[in-house]
Structure 1
Amino acid sequence: MTVWGAAAVDEAVAGGAGVVHVGTRDVVTPLARERARELGVEIVVGSPAPPSAAARGARPAAPAQVRPLPDPAAVSARLGSAPRPVRPPSGALYRRGAPTGRSSRRSSAPPGRGAPGGRVGRVVVVGAGNVGMIAAMRLADADAFDEVVLVDIDEGRAAGIALDLTHTAALSGFTTRVRGVGTVEEAGRADYVVLTAGRPRTPGMSRSDLIATNAEIVGDVASRLARTSPDAVLVVVTNPLDEMTQHAWVSSGFPAQRVVGMAGVLDTARFQALASLAGAGPAEVVGAWALGSHGEEMVVPLSQATADGRPILERVGPADLDATVDRTRGSGAEVVGLLRSGSAFMAPGTSAARMVLAMVADRGEVMPAAVLADGSYGIRDVYVGLPARLGRGGVQGIVELDLRPAELAALREAAERIRERLGALAATPT
């Protein structure tokens, strides 16, 4: 087996080749695939040339049977323009060469400096708990913003974390200013807001158990943000995620494209990591989508799941895959149980930052997110996890995957369960 990196693609172009032939057991890194797309190089499987020759840069002989690497999903975008190719997202959230907005001395074309949208003024993270702290750290380290502001009712905690994070500027190489304040009004007008404020889960508590308590917090913050930052894009992280995202949309009065929930990116990353443990290969080569709700009605359509561009079932058996999906659904509770106090924060905080950075980059990246359904998949007028194309102004459109009937039915069922919980929330006295 040979691992093919971006250098192999560059060598092929330098040698005048428009095709890179790889063996059926070879691994092609995500960065190599991105490089191939940039240069218009085709990657095909089935070369009879020995891996050692390919690794030395020699052009392989014509294969006996050559077929293109399969596209993981047949998609169509509801954007009013020709659809762009869509891949399941990679787990390499901050891999070398990915659009993370690193400073100019570490990357020649970061999203914050030279990307289509350019550097952004201010991102506000509401909630200086563990999730907010990690999100702020990732956003500051990306160096795509003039300022990151942490907001918390415990102003001392927000200010302390901000100062501690500021002390890492020389270590991480960022120039972004970091502040901590007690109110969203003190934070100032924001371009993006990450809303993490709310009560976390404790062992034995479901996400739905938080709905009444956190609805009061989210509603208050969203309405105040609407007055302070009327043009901001709001990324909701507070649980129960789907319901709180819709509640924030209603409370803020923002257009739906500027209110989006972070769930699918986190759940997809969890599936990728767990599939890797089950034998699918490195997490970054696993492609998948986690859709539906951020909870028991999560839908991971295995028809779309791949490992290094091949159907994942070629590497992981059906029983192990089903077990992986089940563990993905319960991963949040698993972490809560192990911690015994508090809930997951490393992956959620990183996922929220990843979504904001994708929007700042403004490259139309497609990511699974909680968005207001527009009739796609036969679902309308409820926030549910769907593949969404993200840009500088938020959600640009919903992308439809070619799901199997059972997967589509499960997705619609998830939307109905969310709708029922929203009805219960509306009936709850305030």
Structure 2
Amino acid sequence: MKRQKITVVGSGNVGATVAHLTVLKNLGDVVLYDIVEGSPQGKSLDLQEAAPIEGFDCFVIGTNQPKDTADSDIIVITAGMARKPGMSRDDLLDTNVSIMRQVVRQITPHSPNAILIIVTNPSDVMAQVALQESGFAPEKVLGLGGVLDSTRFRSFIALELGVSFEAVTALVLGGHGDSMVPLVRYSYAGGIPIDKLLDEETLHLIVERTRKGGSEIVDLLKTGSAYYAPGSAVVSMMEAILKDKKSIMPVSAYVSGEYGLSNVYLGVPVILGSHGVEKIIELDLLPSEHADLLKSADGVKRILTRT
């Protein structure tokens, strides 16, 4: 049986974390690609040498050659400039659009059947750039946003309640930015709606902290941005695809009429399986929730006009 092949573009903190978690879960062989000579090779060798201790049998290689990524099942693109304190995700636009176009043109021709997962910020816009440059079907190009935003929301709820993190389910829609839409009404702890467990003021603070979750980490680190939670979010998406789990999770997907929106990437709940986005699930939103989602979409579209 052919082993799955995963290419991770970018050997920085996010890329290295994705590679590490991928082999720990034995999801497949990993190619770590970067234009910086020595970086992907060194990190890949270091990771491969952990195999006897960690008990994984995946092969890990580092390369600066696009041809080595050929026949990948999944390509995760993390390459790009990271945020610094005071910067929004949108401030990265010009530099990262250029990087995304170059990467997609170099890598995707070698793996025409791959599924792309875009991490580079602003991820909704970068997913649309990757879609345009690759010529792939929309269901084969995904952005990270929704899973990461939702796991932050879940974490803050669990911390406030003092309960198991696994007991909390939560949902965030919209763009991966300050206008994201955390849905309190669709969030639960042990099956109990969280608005039955937390007062309105506390919920408001949690929602706002979720929207600023990435900035909070950037401000603390000062020299970089988050990578553990993004890495875990990416690998959860990969696992759903590679194992054809038909998982329901919020990802940045290309909407074509759903929620009254078209031709834009947004965080929406989907069924994720071996074909990528197999279905977008349309929730029954309140007028205020739908208005917030439209506002978030408008924000993504405004940024798109600058690409």
Q: CA deviation at 1:281?
A: 2.0
2:188 is equivalent to residue 306 of structure 1: yes
8 Å CA contact retained: 1:293, 1:415: yes
2:8 is equivalent to residue 125 of structure 1: yes
8 Å CA contact retained: 1:225, 1:252: no
| Alignment match, 2:249 | 367
Distance 1:235 1:267 in 2: 16
Q: 2:237 aligns with which of 330, 334, 355?
A: 355
Secondary structure in 2 aligned to 1:403?
coil
Decide which structure has the larger Cα Rg and report it.
1
Secondary structure in 2 aligned to 1:202?
coil
Q: 1:140 aligns with which of 23, 33, 41?
A: 23
2:173 is equivalent to residue 291 of structure 1: yes
8 Å CA contact retained: 1:120, 1:191: no
- Decide whether aligned partners of structure 1 residues 196 and 353 sit closer, same or farther in structure 2, where only a CA change above 3 A counts: same
2:276 is equivalent to residue 394 of structure 1: yes
Distance 1:323 1:283 in 2: 18
| Alignment match, 2:84 | 202
| Alignment match, 1:256 | 138
Distance 1:206 1:348 in 2: 17
| Alignment match, 1:46 | none
Unpaired stretches in structure 2, ≥5 consecutive residues: none
Q: CA deviation at 1:280?
A: 5.9
Secondary structure in 2 aligned to 1:225?
helix
Q: CA deviation at 1:184?
A: 2.3
Q: CA deviation at 1:310?
A: 0.9
Q: CA deviation at 1:155?
A: 2.9
Flag the structure with higher helix content: 2
- Give me the identity figure in percent: 39
CA RMSD of aligned residues (A): 1.2
8 Å CA contact retained: 1:280, 1:312: no
8 Å CA contact retained: 1:387, 1:400: yes
| Alignment match, 2:197 | 315
Residues 359-417 of structure 1, C-alpha deviation per residue, up to 9 Å, x if partnerless? Answer: 11102111111111021111111111111111112110101122222111111211121
2:220 is equivalent to residue 338 of structure 1: yes
Residues 255-312 of structure 1, C-alpha deviation per residue, up to 9 Å, x if partnerless? Answer: 1011000111111111111111211622211111111011111001111111110111
8 Å CA contact retained: 2:185, 2:195: no
Distance 2:165 2:282 in 1: 24
Q: Give the TM-score of the pair, scaled to structure 1.
A: 0.70
Unpaired stretches in structure 1, ≥5 consecutive residues: 1-117, 426-430
Distance 1:195 1:304 in 2: 30
Secondary structure in 2 aligned to 1:170?
helix
2:146 is equivalent to residue 267 of structure 1: no
Q: Give the TM-score of the pair, scaled to structure 2.
A: 0.97
Q: CA deviation at 1:120?
A: 4.2
Q: 2:291 aligns with which of 390, 409, 413?
A: 409
| Alignment match, 1:278 | 160
2:65 is equivalent to residue 165 of structure 1: no
Distance 1:280 1:407 in 2: 27
Aligned length in residues: 307
Q: CA deviation at 1:205?
A: 0.8
